[in-house]
């Protein structure tokens, strides 16, 4: 029985060490992947910053200026309302009810 206990303890110890090594390897691999992802994101951000102009001047008057779409809409403003309505559509009345 003592022999079996010692064998079992050795086996458990070996399994625990192997598990620990695998967990550490997996953790290192995960950290490496995260670092590569951060480097990739940093490179992408640097490329985007090169494309964008660095300095943009402020123009407070543009806040109150109408947009191009609004200006186009205001060009074609006609009379609103007034005048007779030429044709007003109603729901159809069934033939059997027209005389009532």
Q: Decide which of 72 and 25 is more confident.
A: 25
- The whole-number average pLDDT for the span 43-55 is 84
Residue-level pLDDT at 96: 84
Residue-level pLDDT at 51: 83
* Model pTM score: 0.43
For 75-100, how does the pLDDT look when each residue is reduced to its tens digit (9 = 90+)? Answer: 876 666 666 767 777 778 888 888 77
Q: Which residues contact 74 (CB under 8 A, 6 or more apart)?
A: 66
83: left (phi over 0), alpha (psi -120 to 50) or beta: left
């Amino acid at each position: 029985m003592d022999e079996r206990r010692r064998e079992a303890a050795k086996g458990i110890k070996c399994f625990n060490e192997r598990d620990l090594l695998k967990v550490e390897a997996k953790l290192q691999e995960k950290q490496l992947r995260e670092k590569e992802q951060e480097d990739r994101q940093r490179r992408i951000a640097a490329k985007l910053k090169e494309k964008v102009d660095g300095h943009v001047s402020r123009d407070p008057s543009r806040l109150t200026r109408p947009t191009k779409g609004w200006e186009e809409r205001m060009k074609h403003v006609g009379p609103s309302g007034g005048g007779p309505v030429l044709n007003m559509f109603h729901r159809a009345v069934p033939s059997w009810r027209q005389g009532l």
